[in-house]
Amino acid sequence: MDLGVKAFASNDVRLFGHLAKKFMLLKGYRKEIFHPDCNPNFQSLHCIAHLDRDIGEVLPYLNSALGGHTYTEDPPSATFKVHGKLITVHSDRIAINALKDEDEADKILEWLRQEINETWKNRSRIQPSFEGLSKPQVLEVLKLLPRSNCRQCGQPTCMVFAILAAEGAKGPDDCPALQDPRRTSLEKYLARFHPAR
């Protein structure tokens, strides 16, 4: 390879690296894994990722790109139901609930880091959204449940299950006691608010 071509190729690599960094909003985070304080006996874990920089500017675009479940303007945050988890992205941190293990947290955080950076890079082509999706009514969900408080789902009451279902964290398949036709009715009702991912 002649020296002119080699120097040109080297400059191309530096330019590409510079452009990639320019579009990279989130580079890293510090992860904290813990059992929820409300019930330390739960088998699932929670994760808080403390971000290396403020990403508040991307939140309305990310809300639009990923179909945010809930959006709050002040302070800015967006909540998503992705990978069967509720994920809340704040300007300085990310919170994920009900994780099986640390490996699952790592996979979701890496996916989300890529989504944040891709959304930031393409923000000129995305219409920002400052609103969340409409939400199911907890009492409507509760009406379709067995209301036996049997705990087969792992929740202390059917009301707690209904709240989680309305938030998108639980679905009809998570209630072993739920039978047709109520199961089908609940599936149809929740599908209006939580499109399948």
pLDDT of residue 41: 63
* Distance separating the N- and C-terminal Cα atoms of the chain: 49
For residue range 16-50, list pLDDT tens digits in order: 444 445 568 899 999 999 887 766 666 788 999 99
Please provide the CATH number assigned to the domain covering 25-125: 3.30.310.10
The one-letter amino acid at 52: D
Q: What backbone phi and psi angles, to 5 degrees, belong to 113?
A: -60, -45
Q: Which residues contact 97 (CB under 8 A, 6 or more apart)?
A: 36, 44, 46, 85, 86, 87, 169
- What per-residue confidence (pLDDT) applies to 9? 43
pTM listed for this prediction:
0.62
Domain boundaries, the chain: 25-125, 138-191
Angle 62-56-112 (CA atoms, 0-180°, nearest 5)?
45
Query: What is each CA distance from 90 to 83, 152, 184, in whole angstroms?
Result: 18, 33, 35
Reply yes or no on whether the pLDDT at 76 is more than 60: yes
Q: Are 29 and 94 a contacting pair, CB within 8 Å?
A: yes
* Mean pLDDT, residues 119-133 taken together: 91
pLDDT value at residue 35: 83
Q: 138-191, what's its fold?
A: 3-methyladenine DNA Glycosylase II; Chain A, domain 3 (1.10.15)
- Cβ atoms of 71 and 63 closer than 8 Å: yes
